[in-house]
Amino acid sequence: MRLVFFGDIVGKAGRTAYLDQLPQLRERLRADLVVVNGENAAGGFGITEDIFRALRDAGTDVVTLGNHAWDQREALTFIGREPALLRPANFPPGTPGNGAGLFTAANGKQVLVMNVMGRIMMDPLDDPFAAVERELTACPLKEVCDACIIDMHAEATSEKMAMGHFADSRASLVVGTHTHVPTSDHHVMAGGTAYMTDAGMCGSYDSVIGMDKEEPLKRFLTKVPKNRFAPAGGPATLSGILVETDDATGLALNIAPIRVGGQLEPAWPGF
């Protein structure tokens, strides 16, 4: 199976590039399932129902979120009727929406996708490791699902790496989001789980992690906020990864980065 994951969509630049290019990218990559993190899709902060529907209509199977999940208040309402929109599974009990789901890929196989959020330098949520253990136990690889993707939305690389090792041999892919910078550590771990500390973002890299440079620079230089952060315009890079899994085990055979357009050096899978 061929699983594609794209990092955080940031603002209009990232959203427009993603929507314009995903249909042809999905075909070129021969993707069976596409997941994207959409928590910065609406002006850099949260997601709206119209944006979610546009992402789905363009060919996205699952949209994950993170610490900006509720920045657009309407998300609290529509997430309950949209099973393909996942918020972190370690939000407290009673939070609207779901943190995991079983989705049918283009080839008919079942893929477990889950979203969890780290706690280091992030909001103090419930234990993400306990949340992942709960979902993996309820839907074990090759017993209930044919593949498993974990979006670890976290600040600390150590916490993301620890989650990779925690889920190794039990998930097809553990991929980090949130920091918006693609890392070069994509590899298949000892137990067969594909791992990457951060998938990067779908947005303009002529920016400060996707935001227009002026306000962040002022805050770093003066420590005085003046205006709201606003997403950067200009050409966007679509950053993500492709993972190929073994149909017999659900574990990873190959992993490779995807970088298309914008400022970053292009990368395209060779398998």
Please tell me the total number of residues recorded for the chain in this structure.
271
> Which residue in 68, 153, 178, 186 is the catalytic one?
68
**Distance of CA 99 to CAs 5, 15, 70, 114, 228, Å?**
17, 23, 14, 6, 29
What kind and span of H or E run contains 83? none
Which letter, b or e, does each residue of 59-97 get, where b requires 16 or more Cβ atoms within 10 Å of its Cβ? bbbbbbbbbbbbbbeebeebbeebebbbbbbbbeeebeb
Residue 26 · residue 18 · CB < 8 Å = no
Bridging pattern class, strands 252-260 and 237-245 = antiparallel
Phi-psi region of 92 (alpha: psi -120 to 50; beta: other; left: phi over 0): beta
**Distance of CA 57 to CAs 62, 125, 164, 183, Å?**
11, 32, 31, 29
187 annotated active-site: no
Q: Sign of the CA dihedral 161, 167, 172, 178? A: negative
Which single residue is written with the structure tokens 């690389």? 157
Start-to-end CA distance of the chain, whole Å, equals: 12
Q: Give catalytic residues, as residue numbers.
A: 68
